[in-house]
Amino acid sequence: MNRRDFLKQSTLLSFGGLVIPSTFISACRKETLLEDINYQGKVLIIGAGVAGLYAAYILKSKGINFQILEASANYGGRLGKLNGFANFSIDTGAQWLHGKNNILGDLITQSKTKTTIDNSAEFFWFNSQIVSSLPKDINALFSREDNVPDASFKDYAIQGGFGNEYTNIVEGIAGDSGASASRISAYWKTKEEENWVSGDDDYKFQETFFDFIDNQIVSQVKDNILLNTLVSKIDYSQSEIIITDSNNNLFKANKVIITVPIPILKSGDIQFIPALPNEKITAFSKIGMEAGMKVFLKFSNKFFNQNVIGGAICAAYTDDSIGKAQNDNVLLAFIMGQQAEYLTALGSDTAITTALLQELDVMYNGQASASFIASYVQNWTTNPFIKGAYSYSTVAMGDARKIATQPISKKLYFAGEAMNINGHHQTVHGAAETGYREVINILNDSKK
């Protein structure tokens, strides 16, 4: 099921070289960004993922002093690039742009970046065989907009009359939204995406998503990124904010944009002085983010279908060569939630690869092992600065995202895909939108 099949497009506006949904412009008071701003303070950005990079991109365009502090040795956050594995470059992190009616879509148009709509065919591993359709239309259940209960995907499917034979199909649908079927809310998943305006088509990059961000955004702000700088404390008790890293280096700023993934905020890896309000901490706890990994499997023969949903080890396999100029036989195992937890617990890339090959051998009569060449495992779960895939909507979530994203004392601002309250969470363009939004909030707060 296309993750955006049930979402509708609405009016968009283009202004100042940026395309933003009209609902997003209203929420962010976009017009203020284009006024003459005489902001003399310094902004520190915590995290060089897309939210932080795009915030920096906007700050630089306004001539505002900023610096990005990044914990890891690389920028990009949950983006990554692998060369040499195949005859095309591979996105080890985010690789699909979900719709082009957004600020990144506008940059793609301006830069003439080559993309392809992913219209790949969908198949299912169902009752021990690969089929092109299911006896009952489970897509229709997850496309409903009315009378959807605040129940997990798993319970929702059971209530809808889908038996155990659909269990792994439901896992595949939930995994596309970054979660286990037993943990993500059918209601809040639907409710939060009511404002989705990006469009329904999924696009793949002829090169990589990473290259696009690197060429169009990072190239403008790279000199202001300080890598290997793990922030451990943010003291905003005085007029000037003091940030301390793990080596006790101090950084000072007037405003701070915090873009770290939601597990970092939930785990308390960063100490705040004074402590964050309990309401905000509770909101963080209600935003889900589970284990996630991508395993790339290279074969001598293309024996596999373009997409197969329903595996017990991996609920979603997809042909990674779609949209590429070259076509080496690379199958992506896209693994989320409890399935990713299980494979992570196996303890090694070899064990993970073996488990996937065994499942594929059952699906394709031993052809996987017979034509296997190599594998590459990108486990975002074990990355200490990421700790998972992307955010999802939990049961009884309520307005957690709105509370989580509220600035504190006109000093601390929160961005990142988990902080997108306009339906574009879980996406790269949604992360960029939040970086843009928080720059607007800073400028507006500075005028008051």
pLDDT at 402 over 50: yes
Retrieve residue 130's tokens.
Answer: 């690969």
State the average pLDDT over residues 323-341: 94
pLDDT at 80 over 70: yes
- Residue 57 maps to a domain: yes
The dihedral of CA 37, 38, 39, 45: what is its sign? positive
Residues present in the chain in total: 448
pLDDT at 279 over 50: yes
Q: Which domain CATH number covers 251? A: 3.50.50.60
- Which residues have CB under 8 Å from 376's CB, separation 6+? 82, 85, 90, 92, 295, 296
pLDDT at 33 over 70: no
Q: Are the C-beta atoms of residues 181 and 142 closer than 8 Å to each other?
A: no
Q: Are the C-beta atoms of residues 258 and 231 closer than 8 Å to each other?
A: no
Range of lowest pLDDT (21-30, 76-85, 302-311):
21-30
Query: Range of 222's domain?
Result: 12-77+208-287+396-447
Angle between helices 167-176 and 337-345 (to 10 degrees): 100
Range of lowest pLDDT (52-61, 261-270, 318-327):
318-327
pLDDT at 141 over 80: yes
- Residue 88 maps to a domain: no
| Mean pLDDT taken over the chain | 91
State the average pLDDT over residues 321-349: 95
Give the integer Cα–Cα distance in Å for 357 and 372.
8
CA atoms within 13 A on the CB side of 54: 26
Retrieve residue 186's tokens.
Answer: 């059918």
Range of lowest pLDDT (12-21, 130-139, 202-211):
12-21
End-to-end CA separation in angstroms for the chain: 47
- Residue 224 maps to a domain: yes
Q: Using 50, 70 and 90 to split pLDDT, how confident is the model at 32? A: very low
Q: Using 50, 70 and 90 to split pLDDT, how confident is the model at 448? A: low
pLDDT given for residue 39 in this prediction = 82
Q: Are the C-beta atoms of residues 186 and 142 closer than 8 Å to each other?
A: yes
- Residue 17 maps to a domain: yes
- Residue 203 maps to a domain: no
pLDDT given for residue 325 in this prediction = 87
Q: Using 50, 70 and 90 to split pLDDT, how confident is the model at 36? A: low
Q: Using 50, 70 and 90 to split pLDDT, how confident is the model at 446? A: confident
Which residue type, as a one-letter code, is found at position 444? N
- Residue 148 maps to a domain: no
Between 34 and 424, the more confident residue is: 424
Q: Please report, rounded to a whole number, the percentage of residues in the chain having pLDDT higher than 70.
A: 92
- Residue 71 maps to a domain: yes
State the average pLDDT over residues 48-53: 98
pLDDT given for residue 35 in this prediction = 62
pLDDT given for residue 447 in this prediction = 76
175 DSSP 8-state letter: H
pLDDT given for residue 227 in this prediction = 98
Number of structural domains found in the chain: 1
Note the pLDDT tens digit of each residue in 239-258: 999 999 999 999 999 999 99
Note the pLDDT tens digit of each residue in 205-227: 999 999 999 999 999 999 999 99
Indicate the pTM of the whole model.
0.92
- Residue 2 maps to a domain: no
pLDDT given for residue 26 in this prediction = 40
Give the integer Cα–Cα distance in Å for 325 and 88.
7
Retrieve residue 408's tokens.
Answer: 């504190």
State the average pLDDT over residues 382-399: 96
pLDDT given for residue 38 in this prediction = 73
pLDDT at 301 over 90: yes
pLDDT at 22 over 70: no
